Chain A
Amino acid sequence: MAEMRGFLRSDGRKGIRNVVVVAYLVECAHHVARRIVTLSDDMDVHLIGFPGCYPNSYAFQIMTKLCTHPNVGGVLLLSLGCESFNREALRQVVAASGRPVETLVIQQAGGTKATIEAGRAAVARLKVLADQTPVVPMARHELVVGTICGGSDGTSGITANPAVGRCFDWLVEAGATCIFEETGELVGCERIMSDRAVTPELGAEIEACVQKAERYYTIMGFGSFAPGNAEGGLTTQEEKSMGAYSKSGSSPISGLIKPGDIPPSGGLYLMDVVPDGEPRFGFPNISDNAEIVELIASGSHLILFTTGRGSVVGSAISPVIKVCANPETYTRLSEDMDVNAGRILEGKATLDEVGAEILGLVEAAAAGDRTVSEALGHQEFILTYKSFEPVGPACLPTRAA
């Protein structure tokens, strides 16, 4: 198998991809940005953006972290001109990170056609500069891997999720950073989870953040539970939670982060994705890709996505590896899946075997192999409004130590 290699960034982090992102800063610039990406016809030119015209510090933070993500080698900012997004502040952060960055303002560039033309030329320049990034060997401990489940059913928590948990255990053992998330899908697991925290204070923070999630979802009127979950045999939120929880494996929990926080060291981290304060902007995560974007904003090089009902999504910026939990779903959607964890249910493979297969695919993706969703051109992206307070000192005991 090919060796893992990374694109070395000025902050010392290494990327497993060298993507040029085209980022629209308001929905009004979305079409122009999309045309630039489409016309570039390049698998490593991706579209990201924020649709809102009103300012939001969370969205600014996430866009900043994405544009300086280790997998990103160059940035084109696409502004209409009158939106409130602070494009100059974002440009400065990207420039300070050593990445090539250009800004186009549609109102100044002469409208749709002229901006698309200018954007295509800008992407070509950015590609040339990004291609000069040094490529260096990468070790397992330098990996940051996030996990999410989507379209869960009664098989997810028996096959794909615990298999990802095995893979996470081996990665953490090697010194890598692993992130699991969606505290709304951990309702019912809070006590079991807090027992795994490296300090009692962190355990208390974990319990509090799950209680916050439960309260938030109760006000919204729905748990993190879709009709397909019930059709797949899951009955309650806490049942879905226990299955989702098994993705975390069995390592101690080293910290609690919020979207965009970069874990300070290797280990297993829980990401608190539920906004702080009274609900203001609606559901915490309106679909799976909102969670994937947050995992990537916290530095994830790639995402392990487990699915029972059968999701087909990928993501902008970081490759997604799809682990199919249900053997019947795999039969229908095999061309969209990287791993058939349903073999565990059929007695044809063990959890360890599937966990090892996932780890092998992680390393292959980090050596440059395209994942299935990546090769199919999936580059989903969504970012909406949220508000967060910074994490407290008890949440990151390793940083305090």
Chain B
Amino acid sequence: MSTPISPLILLHPDDNVLVVRAAIRAGDALDIDGIPVTAAQDVTVGHKLARRALAAGDKVLKYGAPIGSMTRAVAPGDHVHMHNMKSDYIASHTRQVVGGQMVGGSEGGH
């Protein structure tokens, strides 16, 4: 199935992540800045994929601005989210909160 428009958009030339604008299914052929990549998993609209290889500690750039840092290395096309990046300001949280205590998940334990 070919889509009429790319499922990924680049918001700013300095960015090292791409934003998913049409749902991606595992196995889809993706074009990551000219590199052919096979999608490893389903990714829904609004999520981010790495535009290039990133190392732990690298700043993640979106809108041309830093939005956090990587906590582990990823390859081009990998899903970038809470399991491999974190805020440089305030920790994010998920529903996995019990009695006011974080019980993991939100920042990948970093």
Contact = CB atoms under 8 A, between A and B. Distances in A.
Interface of A: 153-155, 157-158, 187-189, 192, 214, 217-218, 221-223, 225, 227, 229-230, 232-239, 242-243, 246, 308, 326-328, 345-347
B23 to A, nearest CB: 8
Given A230-B92, A238-B87, A347-B5, A158 B65 contact: no
Contact of A233 (B47, B63, B87, B88): B47
Contacts of B20: 154, 233
Interface string B69-102: 0000000000011100111111111110000100
B52 interface: no
B46 A237 contact: no
Contacts of A243: 63
Majority secondary structure of chain A interface residues (helix, strand, loop or mixed): loop
Contacts of A236: 67-68, 85-89, 92
A313 B62 CA distance: 30
A188 B48 contact: no
A235 B46 contact: no
Contacts of A347: 4-5
B36 interface: no
A218 B92 CA distance: 11
A368 to B, nearest CB: 36
Nearest to B68: A236
Contact of A222 (B45, B47, B93, B95): B93
25 contacts: A154-B19, A154-B48, A155-B45, A187-B90, A214-B89, A217-B90, A221-B100, A223-B87, A233-B19, A233-B44, A233-B46, A235-B68, A235-B82, A235-B86, A235-B87, A236-B67, A236-B88, A236-B89, A236-B92, A238-B67, A238-B68, A238-B88, A345-B21, A346-B22, A347-B4
B4 A235 contact: no
B11 interface: yes
Interface string B43-61: 0111110000000000010
A235 B80 contact: yes
Contacts of B100: 221
B10 to A, nearest CB: 11
A188 B66 contact: yes
A390 B87 CA distance: 32
Contact of B48 (A235, A238, A308, A345): A235
A216 to B, nearest CB: 10
Nearest to A215: B90
Nearest to B81: A235
A242 B87 CA distance: 13
A345 B11 CA distance: 12
A315 to B, nearest CB: 26
A178 B43 CA distance: 36
A227 B94 contact: yes
B9 interface: yes
Contact of B92 (A158, A192, A235): A235
B92 to A, nearest CB: 5
A238 B100 CA distance: 23
